[in-house]
Amino acid sequence: MAGASRLPVALFLLRLGVFIVMVLWTIDKLVNPGHAASVFSNFYQIGGLGTGAFYAIGIAELILVLLFMAGAFKFWTYGLVMLLHAVSTFATFPNYLHPFQGNLLFFAAWPMLAACIALFLLRDEDSLWALHH
* Other Cβ atoms within 10 Å of 118 Cβ, number: 17
Q: Apex CA 117: angle with CA 111 and CA 118, to 5°?
A: 85
Structural domain count, the chain: 1
Percent of the chain with pLDDT over 90: 74
Q: By the 8 A CB rule, do 130 and 119 touch?
A: no
| Res 32 pLDDT > 60 | yes
Separation between Cα atoms, residue 52 and residue 85, nearest integer Å: 22
Check residue 5 and give its pLDDT. 86
Higher-pLDDT residue of 29 and 43 is: 29
Q: Which range has highest mean pLDDT (3-12, 32-41, 108-117)?
A: 108-117
Position 90 confidence tier, pLDDT thresholds 50, 70, 90: very high
Tell whether 39 is covered by a domain.
no
Check residue 61 and give its pLDDT. 98
Tell whether 120 is covered by a domain.
yes
The residue range of the domain holding 104 is: 3-28+65-125
Check residue 42 and give its pLDDT. 87
Check residue 109 and give its pLDDT. 94
Check residue 102 and give its pLDDT. 75
Tell whether 15 is covered by a domain.
yes
* Other Cβ atoms within 10 Å of 61 Cβ, number: 21
| Residues written for the chain | 133
